[in-house]
Amino acid sequence: MSILVYTENWDGKFKKLSFELVSYAAAIAKEMGSSVTALSIGEVADNELNKLGNFGAAKVLNVNDSRYNSFDNRALSMAVASAAQAEDAKVVIFAHTNLGKAIAPRVAIKLDAGLVSGVTELPSNFSPFIVQKKVFTGKSFTNVQVDADVKVLTFSQNSFELVETGGTAEIVAFDPQLGDDIFATSVKETNKVTGKVLLTDAEIVISGGRGMKGPENWAGLEEMADLLKAGLACSRPVSDEGWRPHTEHVGQTGKIIAPNLYFAFGISGAIQHLGGVSSSKVIVAINKDPEAPIFETADYGIVGDVQKVIPQLIEGIKEM
């Protein structure tokens, strides 16, 4: 019996999220008297795989096969399910990323498992198995009871502290033995965002709304983002107006993020906007209107003009 974690790699490297997943899985394994097996699919070098041991993986199943680079949902779910069966996994954990969300439901069906997506905590109970997740786009939480022998979870980023164990993992090659005909997704073009901090990975996010007045005023936010290694975001009208690319749009209909620190510059704080950012640990609002609803959700605020505040913040950050 084991706990299986699917550790996604990005161009052969693991991000903090993968280590967070393994730490989370290790905490569950401890409670269940089990051990953690990490599954890595794609082309990842052994020294990178070894890092998973330091967060509590006892074993790493390594599927080193470039065919999976097309992210074929059917093939990937077959591979994960066969690893889960080989390891007699009672809990299978994915990240709540595009890829995790795409595969976890399929794997749950294959394993006749119960699925809980977007979990934010360790299970509060193991028999019956009960775990908390976000609902109503962060406006509420619910405890979900899983009534199936196998549980599949997708885990929300930034919900669990990394725990370094100093351990090492046994690395084992694994081959799910899928024929070429299974890989039906034919990728014609891939565009990777490079050189910028990805919004969904960023620990600090700097976001601008209509109060920024126009795309020409973003230089200060970009400078702050560079200094803090932060991601850039915006409200929906800003991307609708074409001031910023739509990939930066956060909120209920855009990206849902949960950084440690979220700066809202000239954003009123509409409920649909908050739906995408309210799980941030600390929210800072800069708005000239003291009645702006964003101040009800923010932890720190300045009532003032963004154009006056931004240069001062940049100065302060440089002095830090």
Partner 1 sequence: MKILVLINNVPDTTTKIRFTGDNTAFDTTRVQWIINPWDELALTRSVELKEAGAVEQISVANVGAQITEPTLRKALAVGADDAIRIDAEPKDAFFVANQLAEVAKDYDIILAGIEASDYNGSAVGGMLAELLDFNSVSAVSGLNIENGELVINREIDGGSQVLSISTPVVLIVQKGIAKEPRIPAMRGIMMARKKPLNVVAPADADAKTTLVDFTLPPPKAACKMVDEENAKDLVALLHEEAKVL
Where along the sequence are the contacts to ligand FAD (CB under 6 A)?
Answer: 209-211, 235-238, 251-254, 266-268, 270, 272-273, 276, 286-289, 292, 305-307
Total binding residues toward partner 1, as defined by CB under 8 A: 94
Nearer to ligand FAD, 175 or 240 (CB): 240
Nearer to partner 1, 1 or 109 (CB): 109
Nearer to partner 1, 162 or 193 (CB): 193
Can residue 320 be called a binding residue for partner 1 (CB under 8 A)?
Answer: yes
List binders of partner 1 among 224-283 (CB under 8 A).
228, 246, 249, 252-254, 260-261, 271-272, 275, 278, 281-282
Please name which of 219, 227, 226 lies closest in space to residue 243, comparing C-alpha atoms: 219
Please name which of 53, 5, 50, 2 lies closest in space to residue 30, comparing C-alpha atoms: 2
Please name which of 114, 137, 76 lies closest in space to residue 272, comparing C-alpha atoms: 137
CA dist list (Å): 298 to 65, 187, 281: 46, 42, 10
12 contacts 155 by C-beta, under 8 angstroms = no
- Prior bond to 176 cis, omega within 30? no
Can residue 118 be called a binding residue for partner 1 (CB under 8 A)?
Answer: yes
- Interacting partner of 197 out of partner 1, ligand FAD, none (Cβ under 5 to 8 A depending on kind): none
53 contacts 167 by C-beta, under 8 angstroms = yes
Minimal distance, residue 284 CB to ligand FAD, in Å: 13
- In the chain, the amino acid numbered 301 is G
Minimal distance, residue 173 CB to partner 1, in Å: 25
Can residue 67 be called a binding residue for partner 1 (CB under 8 A)?
Answer: no
Can residue 200 be called a binding residue for partner 1 (CB under 8 A)?
Answer: yes
**Per CB under 8 A, which region of 25-33, 44-52, 165-173, 187-195 contacts partner 1?**
187-195
Neighbours of 207 (CB within 10 A): 33
**What's the rounded Cα separation, in Å, for the pair 300 and 153?**
34
For 190, list phi and psi in degrees, rounded to 5.
Answer: -125, 130
